[in-house]
Amino acid sequence: EAQVTQNPRYLITVTGKKLTVTCSQNMNHEYMSWYRQDPGLGLRQIYYSMNVEVTDKGDVPEGYKVSRKEKRNFPLILESPSPNQTSLYFCASSLGAGSSYEQYFGPGTRLTVT
Amino acid sequence: AQSVTQLGSHVSVSEGALVLLRCNYSSSVPPYLFWYVQYPNQGLQLLLKYTSAATLVKGINGFEAEFKKSETSFHLTKPSAHMSDAAEYFCAVSSLDSNYQLIWGAGTKLIIKP
């Protein structure tokens, strides 16, 4: 089954404790992206990747890191989480960026930082 | 810069009534326009998209949207609401303006009254 998977689905952590949220897709998509969703703000893009070893900042990259060493994986790293990073995070992938490619979303990771 | 405005954070309709969710966008170049739906505790999935072909676009689950360039609008409609349509709906735009990254509206929660 074609899908985007994220782990963990739920995470409660403390300020300053490094964490990684994994994202994997099995559709051989070139493009992957991370978003955060906050009430009343819709989705805001954190980072995206056009292909392996190619990543770029989105609208809200501060406090986050990403890497794209393999085509299928695009982990999101919070080196020193803070309470303002409490949010719902989505990973998405598509055949490419540009034009009208549909993005496929993972189920989301709900992160709480205390 | 591109932006998307969804009028109404919550819209309530009776089962069987017309659904109308409003989306206005700003873009200095021809845009691609999307509607995504998010069911409770799930990721987003594509409802429909406008890609500069027909201005009236039909999507899944009986939804359709009409691109009106003069009004910079892409409103989503469904003739008869069903209880299963209760979800949050997001409008998004992409174009050369945003380097083809999706710019999202804040979302509209659709409530269906029995």
B102/A99 CB distance under 8 A? no
pLDDT of A40 reads: 87
User: Which string of DSSP letters, residue by residue, matches B13-32?
Assistant: EETTSPEEEEEEEE-SSPPE
pLDDT at A100 over 80: no
If you average pLDDT over residues B90-102, what whole number do you get? 88
Query: Any idea which residue has 């591109």 for tokens?
Result: B2
Pairing of strands A19-25, A76-78: antiparallel
Residue B111 CB coordination number (10 Å): 12
**Averaged pLDDT of chain A:** 95
Chain B interface mutation, best of A100, A104, A109, highest count of B Cβ atoms under 10 Å? A100
3-state secondary structure of B71: helix
pLDDT single digits (tens) A13-50: 999 999 999 999 999 999 999 999 999 899 999 999 99
Rounded to the nearest angstrom, the minimum Cα separation between A25 and chain B is: 14
Distance from C-alpha of B15 to C-alpha of B11, rounded to nearest angstrom = 13
Cα atoms found within 13 Å of the Cα of residue A41, Cβ hemisphere only: 12
B43/A100 CB distance under 8 A? no
Give the rounded percent of residues in chain A with a pLDDT score beyond 70: 98
Give the rounded percent of residues in chain A with a pLDDT score beyond 90: 89
Chain B interface mutation, best of A43, A44, A89, highest count of B Cβ atoms under 10 Å? A43
Which two tokens mark A97? 């960026």
Residue A48 with chain B: CB contacts under 8 Å = 101
A43/B45 CB distance under 8 A? no
Distance from C-alpha of B31 to C-alpha of B51, rounded to nearest angstrom = 8
Of A43, A97, A108, the CB nearest to B100: A97
Residue A81 CB coordination number (10 Å): 22
First-last CA distance in chain B: 41
pLDDT single digits (tens) B23-82: 999 988 888 999 999 999 889 999 999 987 789 999 999 999 999 999 999 999 999 999
